[in-house]
Structure 1
Amino acid sequence: DLRAAWPTAVPGLHRLALDGVTLDLLVGGTPSGWLPEITARVDEFVIPEPLDAMRALSRLAAPNATLRLQAPDEQQLRTLKAAGFSWTGHPGANAESNDGGWLHADYTSRKPQPPMPLPPERRAIVIGAGVAGAAACERLAARSWQVTLIERHEEPAQEASGNRAGIFMPLLSKDDNIPTRLTRAAYLYAMRAWRRVGGLAPDGGAPVLGEQCGVLQLARDEEHAPLQREVVEAWQYPQEFVQWLDADAANAVLGAPTPYGAWLFPQGGWANPASVCRAMLAACGRRLTRIFHAEAITLRRHEAASDGDARGGGAEGEWEVVAADGRVIASAPVVVLANGAGATAIEQAGELPLYTMRGQVTHLAAEAFPKLKMVVCREAYMTPPVQGITSIGATYDRDDDRALRAESQQENLLRAEEILGPERVAAARQAALQGRVGFRTMAPDRLPLVGALPDYGAEAGKAERLRDVKRHEGLYTLLGYASRGLIWSPLAAELLACQLEGEPLPLEATLVAALDPARFVLKARRKL
């Protein structure tokens, strides 16, 4: 089972869910370099060789943690003692001493981590039944939470998650920047998450309608082609993750002339977002209550009054979700906003810097378009036929027009012509064009907002760190997935569930901070 689950050997933190065990593997770098990036409470350290930064272990050590270290020298012993570890006897570096030279130590610092908080009351409301909300329900239900899902439509995946086919692929860059690292982690985790709920099949033979057929990302121009090659060579990625193809090799894969090279992502492909939502929600079983065709308009929290009674008549410390007619839809201690742009209509989230981009996808009958064996993209993407329909898109428009527009259809076909050539797309020009309009919700930095919602009504103060920003107790966000909601949603939901449970986080601390909704609060204050 471990061999089957073993991740692709690319840099980052990889979370594997095995039978009753969660295993995090850190690939690349050094153990000492990883220590500041780990967010966890460690009960036991087993270290086969000394680290350069053993003092940093105290940041992770839970009360009464233990440590085993093989053959420490005197300097390392002094470092451990300064970090708050103690032991009896005199451990030696001689491998022939008792227990092969292993040191057995206990963490007895007078400044340990605070005691583990009490387990949360595992009841939550998730608002929004797209890929963000469905993944949140699945990850919480897997931890025995009772979840109420509120959706304003009659079915899941009716807004941004309603496209026939979304593509999944990583993002590459020469400097391996934060968006690249986040997207790589999300892409790999999403594929494991889909396997966990039953897997993908292009013909309905699995819960998720989709296929790992590969993605061919063509170079934009002659300047971009050598950059593509340099990125692959510099990072020495495994062949199963990405391959660089020169123009001739790309031509052979595409089946059409292309003057430049391409990245080939063999593990990538397409998936139907609605089927992902259905699979995630089905995995929740009886722990999920669905309330559809109900729109959350107002959130109100009942706090304890000075006489001990809860204000407003509700349960103390719970959020109530109120509809437009004043009816209370549901109540729970935790609310997760996963409803895209609709979140900003709720007062507590009204100042989040979210905006939408219109995206129109063109749908063509399979016989009217060249049959592709994999996803192809450059300035646009084209999918293999999905239930007899090829998807081409999507536009990026700064307006809120929900109607299909002829000019947007022609824009998509023009991009297809630039990739495949006018002759191969000529039949599509004569075909009846259908399509779909959706709206991507995104933040100014194009990264999601995952975590506790800042309290914009609180006194600003002089907070300079994320942990100092005041938050709404029990109110969280899974928002701003832009064009990558299909792969972002599983990892973001896992991250939020771990934050709620006090579990080790599935991402490096630097990346978690990059997703924190409060990052915009700090940016705004720094401008003052």
Structure 2
Amino acid sequence: MLPASGTAASSAMDWQGRAQFTVFDSDYGDGERFRTLLQRWRDDGARPARLHYIALHASPLPGFRRIPQMDAGVTLDLLCAPLDEALAQLDARLDAITLHAIAGTSFARALARLAAPGARLTASALTTAQAHTLGGAGFACTSGPDGTLRAVFTTRKPPSPWMRTPEPQRRAIVLGAGIAGAAACERLCARGWHVTLVERHAQAASEASGNQAGIYMPLLSQDDNVMTRLSRAAFLYALAYWDTLGGIGPGARIHGAACGVLQLARGAQHAGVQRAIAERHGYPSEYAQWLEEGPASALLGSAAPDGAWLFRQAGWAQPASVCAAMLDACGSRLVRRFGAGSVRLVHGAGQWSALDASGTLVASAPVVIVANGTGARHLAQTDALPLASVRGQVTYLAEGALPALPFVLCREAYLTPAVKGWHSLGASYDADPDPALRQASQLENLVKIGSMLDNPALGGAAPLAGRVGFRCVAPDRLPLVGALPQQDDGARIERLRQVPRQNGLYGLLGYASRGLAWAPLAAELLASQLDGEPLPLEAELAAALDPARFLVRARRRL
């Protein structure tokens, strides 16, 4: 428990013998209470394996933000939202609660929903009415001579329907060694899981993650919709997460550059919408800055008549190097089974088995995570998911054939700075299965980039060079993260919790063209679900990624 005075955090007896311990603080302040508790956790030989610290925090960027820590057993979640809103969206089981001066009384019932049996609460500057409401919600309260209220949550209650039971056997198979599968391996191994990675190719990042360069950047919208909120959370998490792996840039573990991304407006009408977004949300300039024609043109070195967004923290990375960094971080808990070819899954006696084309066992475990992109369309357990395979051709142009821009340029397409002598342009969005490079897709890429650079004749005679990959795309363009649905009798379904799930089968799919930014947070979300931990996203956003959402939408119409 955290005393309201900000002195030493909970004693060893508060968390002794527990697998995890979760703290909620209604005001992060300068972070001193967190740092004090973290040091006590480090010094205590009887500490829980996992420490979760969740706190309200004032920030210009709204929403929940998980900040990776160098201590693998620690998570820090900062919630930029009013107290009642944050508690309504929080998916966690709280063991210790600290409240500072707060308004209203509705928080009491919300805390009772989240509190674990025996949870300790400390509060300062509460009114008599607030203390009375806490008592009515199940907290046995006492007041000290200094006015500090202390309470223990005593009400016995059944687990809430949204509470997840941790997987008892921490062994998993991950299908696919691209960006999604590699992130899953790292997030599970960091929690002590033993993972077997099964890849049909001889090496990692051989499919959509095999491009020379991919870009990472946030999305913006006027109404701050679900896609925008998820994009913001994933983008910020990825930046911090990569730092824990050794960073990105020259001499760093990950090959790439946080060089910034300049996103040009598509015309005068589009520019007006972007200007309204900038005025409404007032983003910090390091996150997103709207540039009018003059500054945008000066930065680009050619005409940008409709202005542009500058994302200073964004950039490009080589997906294969990101995969390598994540897999190397897994250490001895990871077993790699590469070159397995196409596999099928069989379930029996509480175990999943991955069998190759000859029927030979490749791996077995109680949990399988399907993270093989478009390959999921060919598994019996996942072929009913509404996933499409979308062809994307990237064009490579030799260094010197284009302006030497120090940042990534994008609008309908993207252009990276030269990487090992080559610029990457693209990628096309084609609805066909042709794996070969073709001139029509190259011309499409060149026309789009030429329009952005005000150079219509760009690359007319450029040699055909590049790479074709296939994106895994869901109808709503959002990833699928979580337990995979089971086909049933076709009855009407109103809510996600009513959907039957396939025992021990989970998905990390549908990253479309945003795998670099999506993969770390999606894997963290799934690992948190598997271990029954606090989720790193608002409950509403986690539900938006649930693989069963399409089934619910279809069955509601029955």
Q: What is the TM-score normalised by the length of structure 2?
A: 0.86
CA contact (8 A) 2:275 2:290 kept: yes
- Tell me which residue corresponds to 1:77: 131
Question: Is the Cα contact below 8 Å between 2:164 and 2:529 reproduced in 1?
Answer: no
Matches within 5 A, 1:207-222: 207-222=253-268
Q: Counterpart in 2 of 1:25?
A: 78
Structure 2 CA distance, aligned partners of 1:463 and 1:476? 20
Q: CA deviation at 1:422?
A: 2.2
**Which structure 1 residue ranges, 5 or more long, are not aligned?**
92-96, 304-316
Which of 375, 383, 404 lines up with 1:350 in the alignment?
A: 383
Is the 1:150–1:295 contact (alpha carbons within 8 Å) kept by the matching residues of 2? no
Seen in structure 2, the aligned counterparts of structure 1 residues 138 and 522 have a Cα distance that, compared at 3 Å, is: same
Kindly provide the amino acid, as one letter, of the partner of residue 238 in structure 2. A
The letter of the residue matching 2:549 is R
AA aligned opposite 1:524: A
Instruction: Choose which of 102, 110, 115 in structure 2 pairs with 1:56.
Output: 110
Contact 1:354 1:442 (8 Å CA) reproduced? yes
Q: Give the percent of matched residue pairs that are identical in Structure 1 and Structure 2.
A: 55
Judge conservation of contact 2:492–2:556 (CA < 8 Å) in 1: no
Deviations 1:322-350 (A, max 9, x none): 11111111000110000011112111111
Spell out the pairing of 1:240-251 with structure 2 (5 A cutoff): 240-251=286-297
Residue 345 of structure 2: SS of its match in structure 1?
A: strand
Q: Name which of 16, 25, 44 aligns with 2:67.
A: 16
Aligned-partner SS, 1:347:
coil
Give 1:32-111 correspondences, 5 Å limit: 32-52=84-104, 53-54=106-107, 55-88=109-142, 91=143, 98=145, 100-111=146-157
One of 514, 525, 536 as aligned partner of 1:506? 536
Equivalent of residue 347 in structure 2, options 292, 301, 306: 301
- 1: distance between equivalents of 2:342 and 2:551? 25
1:82 deviates by 2.2
Q: Does 1:523 align with 2:553?
A: yes
| Alignment partners' CA distance in 2, 1:517 and 1:240 | 34
Q: Report the Cα distance in structure 2 between the residues aligned to 1:487 and 1:2, rounded to whole angstroms.
A: 27
Q: For 2:472 and 2:313, how far apart are their aligned partners in 1? A: 26
Question: Structure 1 residue 133: deviation in Å?
Answer: 0.1
Question: In structure 2, what residue type is equivalent to 1:219?
Answer: A
Q: Which residue of 2 aligns with 1:225?
A: 271
Residues 289-328 of structure 1: matches in 2 within 5 Å?
289-303=335-349, 317-328=350-361
Which of 353, 374, 389 is the equivalent residue of 2:422?
A: 389
Q: Which AA in structure 2 matches 1:374?
A: F
8 A contact 2:166–2:531 mirrored in 1: no
The reply to whether residue 373 of structure 1 matches residue 406 of structure 2 is yes
- 1:378-527 matched pairs, under 5 angstroms: 378-422=411-455, 426=458, 428-456=459-487, 458-527=488-557
Deviation, structure 1 residue 2: 7.3
Question: Does the 8 A contact of 2:508 with 2:522 survive in 1?
Answer: yes
Please, which runs of 5 or more residues in structure 2 have no aligned partner?
Answer: 1-29, 36-56
Q: Using the TM superposition, give the Cα deviation of residue 463 of structure 1 relative to its aligned residue in structure 2, in angstroms.
A: 3.2
Give me the whole-angstrom Cα distance separating, in 2, the residues matched to 1:116 and 1:360: 41
Q: Which structure 2 residues correspond to residues 100-139 of structure 1 after superposition, within 5 A?
A: 100-111=146-157, 113=159, 117=165, 120-139=168-187
Mapping 1:212-291, distance limit 5 Å: 212-291=258-337
- Structure 1 distance, partners of 2:254, 2:141, is 53
- The 8 Å contact of residues 297 and 345 in structure 1, kept in 2 or not, is answered as no
Q: CA 1:39–1:33 in structure 2 vs 1: closer, same or farther (change >3 Å)? A: same
2:372 corresponds to: 339
8 Å CA contact retained: 1:120, 1:500? no
The 8 Å contact of residues 137 and 281 in structure 1, kept in 2 or not, is answered as: yes
Choose 187-196 or 5-14, whichever is displaced more.
5-14
User: Match of 2:271, SS?
Assistant: helix
Question: How far 1:450 sits from its partner (Å)?
Answer: 0.2
Q: Structure 1 residue 73: deviation in Å?
A: 2.3
Partner-residue secondary structure (3-state), 1:233: helix
Question: Which position in structure 2 is the counterpart of 1:155?
Answer: 203
Is the partner of 2:76 in helix, strand or coil? Answer: strand
Query: Conserved in 1, the CA contact under 8 Å of 2:288 and 2:310?
Result: yes
Note if contact 1:247-1:262 (Cα within 8 Å) is conserved in structure 2: yes
Query: Is the 2:390–2:472 Cα contact (8 Å) retained in structure 1?
Result: yes
Which of 193, 217, 224 is matched with 1:176 structurally?
Answer: 224
Residues 277-309 of structure 1, C-alpha deviations (whole Å, 9 max, x = no match): 011001001111100111343211113xxxxxx
Q: 1:141 aligns with which of 184, 189, 193?
A: 189
CA distance in 1, matches of 2:31, 2:198: 37
CA contact (8 A) 1:130 1:156 kept: yes
For the 8 Å contact 1:354–1:480, the answer to whether it is kept is yes
The two structures have a TM-score, normalised by structure 1, of 0.91
**Secondary structure of 1:101's aligned partner:** coil
CA offsets per residue over residues 131-151 of structure 1, 9 Å max, x none? Answer: 000000000010111110000
Separation in structure 2 between the aligned mates of residue 243 and residue 497 of structure 1, nearest angstrom: 34
On the 8 A contact 1:62/1:112 being kept in 2, the answer is no
Measured in 2, the distance between the counterparts of 1:36 and 1:109 equals 20
Q: CA RMSD in A?
A: 2.0
SS at match of 2:400: helix
Cα distance in structure 2, aligned partners of 1:366 and 1:356 = 31
8 A Cα contact 2:117 2:156, kept in partner: no
1:213, 1:375 within 8 Å by CA — same for their partners in 2? yes
Equivalent residues of 1:359, 1:395 under 8 A apart: yes
In 1, the alpha carbon distance for the partners of 2:31 and 2:204 equals: 34
Deviation at 1:117, TM superposition (A): 4.5
Contact 1:319 1:334 in 2 (8 A): yes
C-alpha distance in structure 2 between counterparts of 1:269 and 1:136, whole Å: 23
Q: What is the deviation of 1:8?
A: 7.5
Alpha-carbon deviation of 1:76?
1.4
- Find the residue that maps to 1:129 and give its secondary structure: coil
Partner Cα separation in structure 2 for residue 430 and residue 462 of structure 1? 58
Hey, what's the Cα distance between the residues in 2 that align with 1:68 and 1:60? Answer: 15
4+ residue runs of structure 1 moved beyond 6 angstroms? 5-8
Query: 8 Å contact 1:61–1:113 — kept in the other structure?
Result: no
> Separation in 2 of the partners of 1:341 and 1:376?
28
Shift of 1:173: 0.2
| Aligned-pair CA distance for 1:87 | 2.6
Amino acid of the structure 1 residue aligned with 2:83:
P
One-letter code aligned to 1:237: Y
